[in-house]
Structure 1
Amino acid sequence: MKRRGFEVVAAYKEQAINLPRRATKNAAGYDFEAAADIVIPAVWKQVIQHFTKGEEMTEKVLKPVLVPTGIKAYMAADEYLQLANRSSNPLKRFITLSNGIGVIDSDYYNNPDNEGHIMFQFSNFGLTDVTIKKGERIGQGIFLPFLKADNDQADTERTGGFGSSGKQ
């Protein structure tokens, strides 16, 4: 019986994707790698370019970049996978997880929208663009249990993929 772990999503099966693994025997997190080369544009560069061109700033201009991993995770119903940034990313590269931490619920696995594909959401507060290469470690995932409150009333099923629990 499978308890928790990782699989490659169908769209990446033939793309030499490595399953997340712990770097040391006492590491809590499983290191995730980027599944493709991707550029995280510098926020300041985007702001300056838009003001220089006389264009209006909108949220779309400063939207975070999703970095694909090609990975999905399975786990027990009372567990979740917490996504965390690598500690060196903000310090050395000025990239942060835009949502602070990511939460991958157990029902995200094999959802109909994206098969449970895990992506890291980054913003770059540095002065220059950052290029992430395929196979580069970008973050880590930690399996954790969670508790439910007395009189818990959650009865809605997941209806979508990334960022979708069916509620506003």
Structure 2
Amino acid sequence: MTRKRGFEVISKYQDQGINLPTRATKQAAGYDFEASEDVVIPTFWKTLVKNVIWEVTNAFKDTEITMEDQKFLKPVLVPTGIKAYMGAEEYLQLANRSGNPLKNFLILANGVGVIDADYYGNDANEGHIMFQFINFGLTDKVIKKGERVGQGIFLPFLKVDNDTSETERTGGFGSSGN
């Protein structure tokens, strides 16, 4: 039997109770992904308020944003422990769960994620799928292992006439450009 598309657990998470993504209902388009470990997504308001107070108390002098500040400004990667295989003219679109912004104040930093077919099995991270979140709530959000964090939808894509791209993937997450 030829494999068309599906999910596997990456090596690092073998024997750790990772569930493969499934659809919640028979009419659901997306496969629900779970977090493979506990993750804290800090609220970005901490850094925002801290920097505003600093600016006001220092008469709007130039302020250097520290590495500590930046960790609150950067999206947090939530690992799933999952990789996906698919056909050469398909991709897996990662989308937020509809309740995440409303209930958990979590938004996907990149709007939607795109997992290309050649991301599967790459040397850098084996094709590990992760969701990038920003927390706009007032408190830090703790995601527990096994909590559903997002969904993936397999989709075909089209190429333009005379497409000449022959470049091979050389890395993992975010490796195809700046």
* Counterpart residue number, 2:14: 13
Q: In the TM superposition, what is the alpha-carbon distance from 1:52 to its structure 2 partner?
A: 5.1
Q: Does 1:56 align with 2:57?
A: no
Letter in 1 for 2:169: R
Deviations 1:82-101 (A, max 9, x none): 00000000011110000000
Runs of 4+ residues over 4 Å off in structure 1: 50-55
Equivalent residue, structure 2, for 1:156: 167
Whole-Å Cα distance in 1 between the matches of residues 137 and 64 of structure 2? 21
- The one-letter amino acid of 2:142's match is T
CA distance in 2, matches of 1:92, 1:25: 24
Identity of aligned residues (%): 69
Distance 1:157 1:48 in 2: 44
Structure 2 CA distance, aligned partners of 1:31 and 1:87?
11
What does the per-residue CA deviation read over 1:64-116, in whole Å, with 9 as the maximum and x for residues that have no partner? 00000000000000000000000000011110000000000000000000000
Cα deviation for residue 153 of structure 1 reads 1.5
Contact 1:50 1:56 in 2 (8 A): no
TM-score, normalisation: structure 2:
0.89
Say what the alpha-carbon RMSD is for the aligned residues: 1.6
Contact 1:43–1:124 (CA under 8 A) maintained in structure 2: yes
Gaps of 5+ in 1: none
Partner SS, residue 45 of structure 2:
helix
Q: Which residue, out of 58, 70, 82, partners 1:71?
A: 82
Q: How many residues align?
A: 167
Question: Is 2:100 the counterpart of 1:99?
Answer: no
Distance between the aligned counterparts of 2:108 and 2:25, measured in 1? 23
Gaps of 5+ in 2: 56-62
Match of 1:125 in 2: 136
CA distance in 2, matches of 1:23, 1:31: 7
Q: What secondary structure sits across from 2:48 in the alignment? A: helix
What is the Cα deviation at residue 48 of structure 1? 2.3
For 1:5 and 1:73, how far apart are their aligned partners in 2?
6
TM-score normalised to structure 1 length: 0.94
Q: Would the aligned equivalents of 1:85 and 1:101 in 2 still touch at CA under 8 Å?
A: yes
Please list the CA deviations of residues 24-50 of structure 1 after superposition, one character each: whole Å capped at 9, or x if unmatched: 001000000000000110011122235
